């Protein structure tokens, strides 16, 4: 097969050699043709490329919640590692490999070269498909709520994904037109054209199904959601420590969110995990008791533990590397704070405190509630600054401390006896429509855990009251959602993109049709000339 005009020998040979994994000279290339099997492998390659591209998108979305995954792995293996780096490196490798092969295949098609995929590439593509399929399966089994996160993300990325996909499919018109004008199979031509036209029509009309709370007028934008520090400011200081609380105050959070447990001698203290191994040096101080529940230790024992050095050793967040020398020194001095100390710090900083009381299934849970209430009432903190999350013995809490704000971890019921004023839910559990309805009904909605600016922007546009975050230092700097488009502007962008795409596609088909006609005319003249030469030689 001859190279078409404008396709130099190196341009044609190099992609073919990389795609086929061996050097193919022009003489050898003349006898090579793209078979049906080769076409099938190219289709498989293109599907794998799309498959890995979707996984890349999912991987970026789940970074918002990946710290939870790291904590889960630590509980199972007692090994701390930032698995998000592993995920991103592996995903980037797979998408780069499949992208390079797709680009090579398209270049070969434009140059009129055969698509002879080497067996090594075929093997690697099958392995890529298995790895990505395993990743999707694992996500669906162990982390199914992330599918809801992906749906929410489309509200932030939908308009831009539409533009990107239309652009990609528009560029695909060039190799498609080249293939259609080269092949002699009319049935295949008609099939490819019908499929391509159907896909493009669907894409052109896709904005009819794209919805986002950020498609609104500027004057309709709700107030910026308040920030709730998740265990303080865990990206800047060890979680559930007084340093973390003060760092959260520096980030202008309005609420310090924490977790409370009660020691064996009845002292409420701040701790999230049921074991002390992740956030203290209990294995060094009390090695024989390290696996015990946090509530099995008395307050004197707990005060002997270092609750800060792990933060520098394990680096749970990349921000740890940027800490100043003064902050690093302060980290090493952190101890497990009591609830009394946290209440005093909250009162002095004039912020609210919201907490869960753990573990809920403990046989002595009522005594935990009593001990916690006693500390709250004796602390002198204004009760309206205390937000109570635990469901156990809630009615007793209302009677003994009526000024405490009751926060519910559920949606309101149809036959609610008394109206809910505050709800605290995972961000995946509430739609934009529900958030707007709750806002109209004067119900404060706090959603957790929101770390990424894109997610914060969507919830801001939806009208959420507040968000619990690990990244208060990032979200406090946001003065505006990442994007906000009036519906009229989005309509104009939609029309311009679709029209530009249609014009480029028509231009590609017309231009390649002319090139095809010229090539056929040249081939015809060559055939006539060769026929005359053969006739003269025979005479």
pLDDT tens digit sequence for 167-191: 999 999 998 998 888 887 888 889 9
- H, E, C per residue of 377-441: HHHCCCHHHEEECCCCCHHHHHHHCCCCEECECCCCCCCCCCCCCEEEEEHHHCCHHHHHHHHHC
Q: What is the pLDDT of residue 3?
A: 44
pLDDT tens digit sequence for 295-312: 999 999 999 999 999 999
Assign 332 to helix, strand or coil.
helix
Q: What is the pLDDT of residue 14?
A: 75
Q: What is the pLDDT of residue 408?
A: 96
pLDDT tens digit sequence for 344-392: 999 999 999 999 999 998 999 999 999 999 999 999 999 999 999 999 8
**With contact defined as beta carbons under 8 Å apart, do 393 and 370 qualify?**
no
**With contact defined as beta carbons under 8 Å apart, do 169 and 203 qualify?**
yes
The helix-helix angle for 487-538 and 145-171 (nearest 10°) equals 50
DSSP class of 338: B
**With contact defined as beta carbons under 8 Å apart, do 466 and 186 qualify?**
no
DSSP class of 224: P
Give domain limits for the chain.
Answer: 9-27+34-143, 150-212+489-538, 226-476
* pTM of the predicted model as reported, rounded to 2 decimal places: 0.90
Q: Are strands 255-262 and 268-270 parallel, antiparallel or unpaired?
A: antiparallel
Q: Categorize the per-residue pLDDT at 528 as very low, low, confident or very high, splitting at 50, 70 and 90.
A: low
Q: Which CATH superfamily is domain 226-476 in?
A: Phosphatidylinositol (PI) phosphodiesterase (3.20.20.190)
Q: What is the pLDDT of residue 130?
A: 97
**What backbone torsions phi and psi does residue 538 show, to the nearest 5 degrees?**
-70, -35
Name the residue among 434, 493, 497 with its Cα closest to residue 213. 434
| Rounded CA separation 507/513 (Å) | 10
Q: How buried is residue 67: exposed, middle or buried, by Cβ count under 10 Å (0-12/13-18/19+)?
A: buried
Name the residue among 225, 228, 224 with its Cα closest to residue 254. 228
Q: What is the pLDDT of residue 460?
A: 98
Average pLDDT over residues 285-296: 95
């Amino acid at each position: 097969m001859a190279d078409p005009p404008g396709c130099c020998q190196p341009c044609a040979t190099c992609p073919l050699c990389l795609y086929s994994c061996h050097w193919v000279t022009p003489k050898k290339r003349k006898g090579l043709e793209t078979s049906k099997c080769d076409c099938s492998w190219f289709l498989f390659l293109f599907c794998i490329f799309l498959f890995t591209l979707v996984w890349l998108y999912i991987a970026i979305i789940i970074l918002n919640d990946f710290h939870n995954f790291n904590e889960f792995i630590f509980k199972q293996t007692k090994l701390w590692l930032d698995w998000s780096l592993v995920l991103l490196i592996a995903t980037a490798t797979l998408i780069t490999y499949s992208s390079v092969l797709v680009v090579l295949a398209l270049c070969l098609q434009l140059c009129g070269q055969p698509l002879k995929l080497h067996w090594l590439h075929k093997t690697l593509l099958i392995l890529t498909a298995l790895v990505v399929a395993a990743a999707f399966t694992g996500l669906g089994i162990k982390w199914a709520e992330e599918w809801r996160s992906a749906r929410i993300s489309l509200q932030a990325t939908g308009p831009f994904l539409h533009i990107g996909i239309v652009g990609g499919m528009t560029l695909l018109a060039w190799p498609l037109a080249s293939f259609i004008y080269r092949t002699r199979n009319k049935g295949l031509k008609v099939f490819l054209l019908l499929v391509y036209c159907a896909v493009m029509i669907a894409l052109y009309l896709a904005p009819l199904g794209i919805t986002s709370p950020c498609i609104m007028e500027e004057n309709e934008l709700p107030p910026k959601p308040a920030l709730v520090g998740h265990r303080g400011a865990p990206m800047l200081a060890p979680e559930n420590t007084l340093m973390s609380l003060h760092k959260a105050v520096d980030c202008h959070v309005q609420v310090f969110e924490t977790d409370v447990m009660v020691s064996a001698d009845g002292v409420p203290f701040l701790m999230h995990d049921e074991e002390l191994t992740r956030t203290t040096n209990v294995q060094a101080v009390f090695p024989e008791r390290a696996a015990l529940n946090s509530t099995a230790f008395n307050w004197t024992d707990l005060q002997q533990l270092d609750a800060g050095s792990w933060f520098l050793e394990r680096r749970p967040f990349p921000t740890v590397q940027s800490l100043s020398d003064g902050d690093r020194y302060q980290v090493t001095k952190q101890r497990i704070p009591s609830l009394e100390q946290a209440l005093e710090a909250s009162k002095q900083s004039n912020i609210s405190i919201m907490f869960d009381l753990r573990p809920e299934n403990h046989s002595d849970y009522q005594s935990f509630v009593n001990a916690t209430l006693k500390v709250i009432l004796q602390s002198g903190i204004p009760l309206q600054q205390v937000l109570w999350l635990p469901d156990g013995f809630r009615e007793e809490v209302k009677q003994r401390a009526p000024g405490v704000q009751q926060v519910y971890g559920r949606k309101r019921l149809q036959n609610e006896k008394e109206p809910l004023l505050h709800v605290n839910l995972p961000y995946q559990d509430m739609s934009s429509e529900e958030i707007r309805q709750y806002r109209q009904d004067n119900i404060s909605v706090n959603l957790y855990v929101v770390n990424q600016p894109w997610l914060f922007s969507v919830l801001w546009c939806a009208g959420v009251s507040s968000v619990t975050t690990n990244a208060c230092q990032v979200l406090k700097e946001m003065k505006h959602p990442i994007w906000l488009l009036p519906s009229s502007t989005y309509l104009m962008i939609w029309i311009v993109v679709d029209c530009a795409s249609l014009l480029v596609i028509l231009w590609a088909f017309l231009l390649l049709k002319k090139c095809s006609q010229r090539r056929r005319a040249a081939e015809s003249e060559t055939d006539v000339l060769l026929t005359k030469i053969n006739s003269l030689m025979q005479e």
